[in-house]
Amino acid sequence: MTSQERVLAALAHKTSDRVPVDFGGTFVSGIHVSVVAALRDYYGLEKRLVKVIDPGQMLGEVEEDLKQVLGVDTECVLRSNTRYGFPNRDWKPWRMPDGLEVLVPGGFNVTRGLAGEILMHPGGNVANPPSAMMPSDGYFFDNIERQPEIDEDALDPRDNLVDFQPLSEEELKFLEASARRARATGRAVIGSFGGTALGDVSHIPGPALVSPRGIRSVTEWYMSTRMRREYVHAVFDGQSAVGLANLQRIAERLGDAIDVINLCGTDFGTQKSTFCSIDTFNELWAPYYKRIISWIHQNTAWRVFKHSCGAVEKLIPSLLDCGFDILNPVQCSAAGMDPQKLKEKYGRDIIFWGGGVDTQSTLPFGTPDEVCEQVKRRVEVFAPGGGFVFNTVHNVQARTPVQNFAAMIEALR
């Protein structure tokens, strides 16, 4: 089978020649740049600096030679700009706090805070107030909340919609060229076009905005889903309208070059439960997801990818009702997320994309034998009958031992 055929078989709940593999197909199934660099050394690949393709999480580019070693079956199509509003181009060297030298986009211009923290600035302009921070000994950036004082009588949902704009012709051409290059590899192609992650708290603070207005505190946003539901509905309605219009234009230009669309990364789960009740999800999020996904299924062959960490088992029926085809990252360590029970209950209806090994404990802190054993158990549960794409539970974190990563790949083989 080709890589594309292998993934499409899994998406159709059919058995393929081997379990399909994704590393780097999305920003929620990637590998930290430190681990990508270590893997290149471990497998004896050409020595070169690794590109940071997502400066927020500091995810590294998985290049063709490493994809072949790992058996990767996916390609990504990403927007031209980073989450901080500068383009992913014009690469230049930068040294991580631990001394690792990597390549970052030309707009990656940072300053140092009083405690030595590394500050990121919207648009790459250091004259702008910082919107994200990496600790002096850290490995990725956290958003800096810049919540303006809230005047309840003056709140305007349009302030939370300035992040979502119609795609330019230049951006459409960029996406089309990226998709055609990805399709030519023979791998399955995942489009991450942005703009449809309703209420994703990694975007709520507006990291690309110089002076964000509206509700920009994560705490304030979660309270608003209870206290200001009309406001949140207005934001979701406006965001969905722009997002759907953009998807229509994207589909006209590159619809046949895409197999999967990564629609949203809004998290709904904690380690032990969900962020909201089923009724709240069905009232506040479901109508907008249904609107967008219904159009996708009626007008494209794309399968729809939903990322949500945590204990989301009780929300899976609602996700299916919305039309989602794929669940990621399948956090098996969370409450109610037992792999065997998930496969038995939902394995005929949803594709499990992830869940291959735990990235909170086993992969970073276990032994190679423990990694191997968990991978084998997970594959034995999830793989039969298709409906499974192997990936870790979310991104591979910084400084994960390369021997453990290699053990994971050997166990999978």
Instruction: Give the tens place of pLDDT for each residue, 265-308.
Output: 999 999 999 999 999 999 999 999 999 999 999 999 999 999 99
Average pLDDT over residues 333-351: 98
Average pLDDT over residues 85-91: 98
The CATH number of 3-31+62-85+147-412 is 3.20.20.210
pLDDT of residue 116: 96
Contact 56, 83 (CB under 8 A): yes
Closest CA to 77 of 162, 188, 236, 160: 188
Residue 155: pLDDT band with limits 50, 70, 90: very high
pLDDT of residue 230: 98
Residue 364: pLDDT band with limits 50, 70, 90: very high
Collapsing DSSP to helix, strand or coil, 295 comes out as helix
pLDDT of residue 64: 98
Instruction: Give the tens place of pLDDT for each residue, 216-257.
Output: 999 999 999 999 999 999 999 999 999 999 999 999 999 899
Query: Can you tell me the distance from the alpha carbon of 178 to that of 198, in angstroms, rounded to the nearest whole number?
Result: 25
Instruction: Give the tens place of pLDDT for each residue, 389-408.
Output: 999 999 999 999 999 999 99
Helix (H) or strand (E) holding 246: helix 229-254
Give DSSP secondary structure letters for 301-314: -PEEEEE--SS-GG
Q: How far is CA 83 from CA 160, 262, 356, in A?
A: 16, 16, 28
Closest CA to 190 of 7, 18, 395, 323: 7
Please report, as a single letter, which amino acid is at residue 79.
Answer: R
Give DSSP secondary structure letters for 175-229: HHHHHHHHHTTTSEEEEE--S--TT-TTTTT-TT-SS--SS--HHHHHHHHHH-H
pLDDT of residue 239: 98
Contact 162, 208 (CB under 8 A): no
pLDDT of residue 161: 98
Average pLDDT, the chain: 97
pLDDT of residue 44: 98
Residue 380: pLDDT band with limits 50, 70, 90: very high
Contact 397, 364 (CB under 8 A): yes
Average pLDDT over residues 171-194: 98
Residue 349: pLDDT band with limits 50, 70, 90: very high
pLDDT of residue 237: 98
Residue 144: pLDDT band with limits 50, 70, 90: very high
- Tell me, yes or no, if the pTM score tops 0.75: yes
- Count of C-beta atoms within a 10 Å radius of residue 179: 21
Query: Can you tell me the distance from the alpha carbon of 318 to that of 323, in angstroms, rounded to the nearest whole number?
Result: 9
How buried is residue 252: exposed, middle or buried, by Cβ count under 10 Å (0-12/13-18/19+)? exposed
